[in-house]
Amino acid sequence: MNSNQLQSTEYASFYAPYIQQLNNVDLLEELEISVHRLRNFVQNIPIDKYDYSYAPGKWTIKDILQHLIDSERVFAYRALRFARKDGTFLPGFEENDYATVANGNQRSIRELLTELAVVREATLSLFRTFSDETLLLSGTASGKEMSVRALGFIIIGHQNHHQHVFQDRYL
């Protein structure tokens, strides 16, 4: 399943930048590869940058890693619900509220990167169980229709987005 197969009707328009920058990647391969790419990138960031924020009220690199972990869990949960044909409309989640209580900045980089890898392995295990037909199923989250496969690509694109933010605003 490649990202160029997605239709714009499979995800909310605010996710379009995440998906459009994927350049025709395979879903399972990129879920596996991209987390290693991010881990290697973060491990090469100077240690004094992990607790840095580029402006008042902005998250640190540690906070963003925690945000990626939390977001991936939410997106994978949505994919599971939609794949199991659960018709319940799922609410949104307020990322800033999560960040306020997650205390990502109080954790070590090692802990955060380990948890990110564990969460990604769980996401990969889940997505490997989905047939091509299951990946096309959809449901409603945050008032928007989304497909199972779009959620997988959103996980990848969201991570890539934040890696670019690290490069542009933190280093």
60 pLDDT tier (thresholds 50, 70, 90):
very high
pTM of the model: 0.96
What are the angstrom distances between the C-alpha of 122 and each of 73, 80, 146? 9, 12, 20
Q: What is the CA radius of gyration of the chain?
A: 16
Q: Averaged over 140-144, what is the pLDDT?
A: 95
Q: Averaged over 11-27, what is the pLDDT?
A: 95
Matching CATH number, 3-170, of 1.20.120.450, 3.30.1370.60, 3.40.50.150, 1.10.3720.10 = 1.20.120.450
Both tokens assigned to 94: 């307020």
The pLDDT, as a whole number, for residue 129 is 98
140 pLDDT tier (thresholds 50, 70, 90):
very high
What angle separates helix 109-128 from helix 61-83, to the nearest 10 degrees? 20
The pLDDT, as a whole number, for residue 1 is 86
Does the structure show a pLDDT above 90 at 128? yes
The pLDDT, as a whole number, for residue 10 is 97
**Domain layout of the chain by residue ranges:** 3-170
**Per-chain mean pLDDT for the chain:** 96
What angle separates helix 148-165 from helix 109-128, to the nearest 10 degrees? 160
